[in-house]
Structure 1
Amino acid sequence: MWRQPYRKKGLLIAILSACLPAAIIGVILYMLGTQQIEKEAQKTYRNQVAYATERINQNLVHLETIMAQWSFNLNLGSAYSELDIYKDYKSTRSIYQALTWIKASDPLIEEVHLYLDKQQVVIKESSGINPIKNEQELNTYRGLASYQRDVYWTKSDVLPLMNPDKSAPYALIVRLPGGLVETEAALIIEVSAKQLNKLIAELDVEGAGSTLLMQQDGDVISLGGHALSKPTDLDKALMKSITHHQNLEKTSSIESWNKDTYSVSYGGMNRVGNTWTFAVATPLSQMTKSVQTLSRFIILTGCFGIILALILSWYSFRHMYNPVRRLMQQLLPGRVSTSSDEFVTIADEWKNLSRESQILQERVDRQLPSLRESFLLQLMQGHLSFLSEAELAGRMEQFGWDVQEREFAVIAVKLHGLYRSEGKFSPGDEQLVTFAAVNITQELAEAMNLDANTINLQDLTLGLLVGRTERTSQLEEMRANLFHFAEALALTLNNLLHVEVTVCVGASTQELHKLSLYFENARNALNHRTLGDEQQVLDVNDIMPGGHDAIAYPFDVEAAILKALRSGQNLELDELLNGFLAQLKARTTKELDVRQGLLQLFGNMQNTIMLSGFSPLAFNDGIDIWRQMSELKEPEAILLWMKKHIVTPYVNRLHRTQDMQLRQLVENVLSTIHANYAKDISLEGCADLHGTYAKKLSIGFKQITGLTFIDYVTQYRLNKAKQLLLETDEKINDIAGSVGYQAPYFNRLFKKYEGITPGQYREQAEQDA
């Protein structure tokens, strides 16, 4: 299939037409869609980081605000310097309650301490009163209480009572009571490391990157999901990178660490008296995970669309190419095209077929007149009685006659006095004179605009079949024209050929199968001419008048019986004889008329048998058949006796004789085929050559040889061709011509019967040798 450029180009165009638009749309959708989705994903990610940052800041601001409020709301009932925490039970309990409320006021608070300077103690909500043990601790706490800000953040590791495992690196300090006065106490808020890390971890939604919260002095406050003591390589890289982004403006960038690419966002949070910086690094692959999934879906959808387009384009191409393929198979059955372009091959084969068709048409045109004449002769002589009315009409239309709504009339012409034609003709010129009369008759009919066809009976007798469109009101006009033509014909033939001419105008009919009977009646009517009259025109209706005294005799059935008898159709004869007797009985009530009718039929049957070349006496050992017939009284007995002693013996003898004649005929035709197989040879031509008709020859040929005429000729020619292929070096085209075929048709025919081409047959034979 792929050796043909048309198929390659056609399939390529179909694929491009189906796949290219889908591929372009898919690429554009992928490029624009994924870029847009990626932008949206990054925007969403930034929004998530901003939201998480704002939430962290709000939580820390809430803690600072709450503590500032507590610095003013905390009321111990007396000055801190005068408070005796061991004796003033009520005030001490109030302190415990206040510390409990403060701790419960915010989830970021891990522990709350109250430092009392005069008492030199630290009161914890969880462990109660803790005296300060040494001067260093006292100085540390006094430093916290004397700081210039009322609320501020400081490192947790400077506080002795802090829990490093649970507290964040920085604690919130609130001076009491605050303001410009000298403070005597301070609230110390331990921030929960767990809660703070949880807040910071919210910056990394998926948990695949790193988060960082750092003081402006570089101390790390939280690493989110990672412990401060065990930072990851990414955490260390992020700590190093944040030193270049100490400004408070939020920024973002794309950075690569260890061959991975991250989106890094920076920002600052203003704490009281300080600035905390946060940073978050998220892998781009994590950010574009949804984009990748959608991209894969787009790619898979595009691939599926392209595959579907390929399948549909293949199917469409096959569907579109089917007519070309079927046409190639019809033009080249079993052969491979020598051209790479199917349309060039189709054009070449079309030219060859057109040339062959033209040649065959020319042959048909040359043979059509003789075929029409042969068919008409067989029709008028009754040799086509086996055909139905529809088949006869079809045959006549095939030969160019118009039989639709047509009325046909027959005319018989007889020439007499040939030997008295003033020495113009001599014995043996009967066929020549008849041929001349036929030509004259045809020319006269054309001159008088008569639709007539002539029949040459070769024995100074000729006939005419005249057709005219049936119009009931013009039938009489048609017969008048026929008599006018008959008179002109008799005068013309007499003047030109100097012979006596008798013309009989027969009956007209629309039924084609009756034409042979009417023509036979017209010929029989010629015997009623007047002797010595040089120009006579007879009317068959006047020669055979009817009336009340006419015999009710079924002549049409008798004619059918005699035809069936001549052809030896035994079963049809039996039906026709029974029908003849039935019609006789139906037309008359007298037994004598029925007996006379059967005797008349018997005499005509004997005459037909004798004309066929047989003696009726030979069938009954010379007995007196007329005496036996006269002794039978019942019509049925007479009919039965005729079947037994005349019909059956004659038909059996005829069949035996016909078989021998048929075999001899077929053998003669076979000799003709063997001698002329290289020429144009046909069944009709052989039938005409051997004096028979095509139907009889076709049936006999099949019966004797077991093959039809065409099959036998084809097999004989192919056998001759195979012999030439094996024994000579002639070209295949020359061999085709020598056995009567055109080269393209010969190749197709050889492939059909032998299964291989002539060239392959020759090559195979050479290899076997």
Structure 2
Amino acid sequence: MLQWFELKWKRSLGRKTILRNMMILSLFASIIPVIAVGFGSYLFSASVVQSEVNGSNLRILNNVSSTIDSALDRIQNNAIQMLLGSFFTSNLTDLKQTNYTGFYSSISRELAALQSGNKEASDIAMYVPDEGYLISPNYGGRRITGEKEREALQQELASEDQIKWITGPYPNLPGYGGNGVTLIAKVPLQSNKPIGLLFIRIEDSMFRSILDRFVSYPNEHMYILNANGELVASTGKEAVPEGLSSRVKGSEGGVKRSLFEWNGTEYMVTPSISETYKWQYMDMVPVKQLNAKAGGIALITISIVVIVLMLGICFVLWGTRRVYRPIERLIDHVKDGAEQAADTDEIGFVRMRWAELSSTTSKLQLRLREQQPLLRESFALQLLQGRYQHYSGNQLVGMLRRYEVPAGREHFVFVIAFDAHHGESSRFQESDNELIVFAVKNMTSDLLRSQEMEGIVINLLNDQVAVWLFPNAEQSVSGLPDIKSSVERIRMLISDYLGLPVSVGLSRPTEKIEELPELYEEAVLAVRSRIIVGSSQVITHVIGDSELHYRYPVEIETHLENSLQLGDRNEAERMLNEFAKSMQNAVQEPELVQMSYYRLLIAVTRTSYLLGLDSAQLFGEKNIDPYTQIRKINSIHELNHWFRDYLIEPVTAYVRGKQDQEHVQLIQKVVRYIEDNYHFDLSLDQCAQICGLSPHYLSKLFKKTMDLSFIEYLTKYRLDRSIELLRGTDLTIAEIAEKVGYQTKNFIRVFKKHIGATPGQFREADKE
């Protein structure tokens, strides 16, 4: 018996050895290719991630460079516009000689207006070399005393460049250190003898604020270099790593992607060159972060490899067993009917794993179906916002097919907006806007289904809901009127349920999927126009190209406000005419023109309120409603006349009257000072210092108010006091001269010149 078990064990051992060798050989033949494919798939996916990130970074850099170039162009154009204005194109040398104080106050006013319109500029200053003054709206005027700085500024004034940008610190001016850029322009432009230099400083903090908005990864670095390779700004104020600039410097556009090692870390570098100023923009993203981003892909790849390997192992075990079974039967047959080993564990394991894989697949498909509406909504929102404008027609059709959107139909876009009023009668609170949007979105989806209309409802994340509508062929035949009536039913039902005014902006139809962004913009502008045409309705608003590209002239509005604050009627009327010219691009759309003039009306009334002007002085005692008046006027010419008569003229007259009153008070202050101190040695400079004015300006103001010059009035007052002393006292001529602020000889000479006799002769004649 013992010998029989020993023989059976040896036989089983030999059989298992053959089976094991067969399994090992089969496993090696199946495992190695699977691992190679999995590892290659991971490397390929990581490379794809890097390529996608590089493309995204390149688009970001192009966006950053376009934003910065636009800001620099706007600042430079505003500076040129100021230098070509009426003040700087006049004879500044004569103005400075004739009106010294007015010259500098006008410069300060112009610089302040320029800085108010260019918030990116940290400082705007003008250097006048004759006195060495540096004038700035931030710190007023101060003198440049250093010989080295004044000599450097004089060389700058003598250079051939009329206007230029420089990078980095400008050591010749205080406060112009560190990175950043400085605009230097001669004043006036194109003059053989400029009288000064204009400086506009933009600190690197402005550039960093733009760069920081686009930083997406930890330890990511962005750099901006000018055309000469000098650092303009960086995200962390650090210097450009050594060797990086030479790595990316090359052909136009630079290398699309390269790897660079710095401080023991490997970075992926994406360069870009701006079109206008040829600045170099570089973005360094740690490769480690990109690999971390690909971690999810690696996990999925490993999971797939593990699943495939497990299936392979099960298949190998089952296959080798099947191959081995004839050998086992042959051995049993040879051994005269030996028992056949029944081994079903491997097959049971394969069945178990197959059941688990089928269950996992079913769960994943279920989750995909649950996420499909959110994916469709996200795709629709990006399509309406123009994120797929660079896609070709075939690519867009493929995207539509992926998200189960039918192609070849008419498309509409409408935007639903509600005007929330949180009063006592309202059922909603101020914090319920998200709840309202949620209700509007769900109700719109249900109403579309009830009307058998196909579309995608999108939450715009701004308390509005957009609907991309693609009706079927029967609904499209009826066209826009039927669609509008269906949308009106949806609007009324939502408004009745919420108890709030609901407005809908409806676009025109189109069969071209690439025109959807334009339709979305039409719907958005249409729903915005409810402030003009009224809410609680469906608004159809077909927009032309001119309206899509219309821009409200903010700079003209700002200049007009400054002119009103200074009481400059002529300049204010000129700005009003310039505003009317800018309306020509939108004159075919009366609503847009009215909206622009509404905004200008708000700006002017705000300025008059800040100046302390009563509304009755603007629109008269009849209490005219200005908005009703604007709606009644049919032409821009009439609008300008109305603005001039009811707004410009009252405001400037009020400011001029206020200035005249202040001048009278100043002159009265000077007269009182003369009456109290006439017996001292008075001068115009002393009185100007008391009033805070320049002597020249005080002299002109005194002459205008009193019809006498300062010296004439002082002399007349002293002579009147001396006559009183000559008549009423027995003081000697020398004593009287001292009491009225004269030396004896000068007193006798002045008295005889104005009275016609000496003081002694006047006293004798008066006694007689």
TM bucket, shorter chain: 0.3 to 0.5
Q: State the TM-score, normalizing by the size of structure 2.
A: 0.36
Q: State the TM-score, normalizing by the size of structure 1.
A: 0.36
Bigger Rg over Cα: 1
